[in-house]
Amino acid sequence: MLKEGGLDGAEELLKGSLDKNLQAADEGKEAAAENAFDLAGVMELRFDYRGARDCYEQATRLEPQSSAYLNKLGVSWASIGDLKMAIGCYTRALEIDIAAHGAGHQNAAAYYNNIGAAWDSLGDSKKAIEYFTKALEIDIAAGGNKNPNVAIRYNNMGLSWNALGDPKKALDCFTKAIDIDLAVHGAGHPDVAADYNNIGGTWEALGDPKKAMDCYVKALDIDLAAYGVRHPKAALRYNNIGFTWNALGDSKKAIDCFAKALDVDLAAYGARHPDVAIDCNNIGAAWHSLGDLKKAADYYAKALDIFEKVYGPGHSHVVNLRAKLEKLAKEQGS
């Protein structure tokens, strides 16, 4: 990973190259688009997601027929919470790719998948499943039933079925995914950890937090063996184990897990990352449930400060946390 000084140097070089290529008119357009695209990556490493969005937009203006640039612009819009703009970018990328390669190309599967994920985040999980199914059909046709991409599509469909309140269909999808990943990768692979994580969430939805805990612990064990104790994947698993302890009525054990997640994310990302804000929010919620309103407010305020700096005042995370703090203030005043 680049250090801060390395990012400064990379940004300066890319901006200089971008300016030079822009001055070269049409001859430099393709190179300038590539500079803008690479500069967006630097902005992402700085957690400046709106700056990254601006750079991806510049790249697509310079090379409007690049499906890859449009797709990344869509991902960038999604990261700052504008999912309809993301869908527009993914759809245009899909149209370009189908025109160039045909409807059965694997790039089309990736774009269908991204459109589905955006619709899922917008709350239309039925529409999401339609797109995930299209992606699944392309991947099966291209690589057969035991293709890792097929497992990804089953996982996404499972998440959508969970969102629609049908955890049994979700469990069926996740079971298909883990069967593929075990056959392709073996029992110690991180994709298998992700499958166990999804199955754990489904057992939680089915009202069996003990089975959920078993799955989350398996996922954590795999990720610790694969990545070590300071990897962000470990933080994700600690958070889910924490949620399960909350469901089992033990908020103190939940806080221990959320605190481990926070330690990992601080070491991995520093204090300004959205995942750190999520950890703070989770700790705040656990303290809230234990009745310690002051500690809850402190952690919610930390989360809010990070989200505002990263996403701006209109993002849903910011709005939701402001509402939590207002509710908490009323509780403290009563």
Q: What is the pLDDT of residue 27?
A: 79
Chunked mean pLDDT (size 10), the chain, 334 residues: 66 92 86 96 92 97 96 96 96 97 94 98 97 97 93 98 97 98 97 98 96 98 96 96 96 97 96 96 96 96 95 92 93 78
**214 CB-contact burial (10 Å; exposed 0-12 / middle 13-18 / buried 19+):** middle
Neighbours of 288 (CB within 10 A): 20
Task: Compute the CA torsion angle 296, 298, 303, 305 (nearest 10 deg).
Answer: 150
CATH numbers and ranges of domains, the chain: 13-19+26-102 (1.25.40.10), 186-262 (1.25.40.10), 270-334 (1.25.40.10)
- 315 vs 280: CA distance, rounded Å: 17
Q: What is the pLDDT of residue 25?
A: 73
What six digits make up the tokens of 236? 């994700």
- 49 vs 44: CA distance, rounded Å: 6
Q: Which of 92, 27, 167 is nearest to 175 (CA)?
A: 167
Helices H, strands E: what count in the chain? 16, 0
Q: What is the pLDDT of residue 24?
A: 87
* DSSP code, position 27: G
- 101 vs 97: CA distance, rounded Å: 6
Q: What is the pLDDT of residue 4?
A: 47
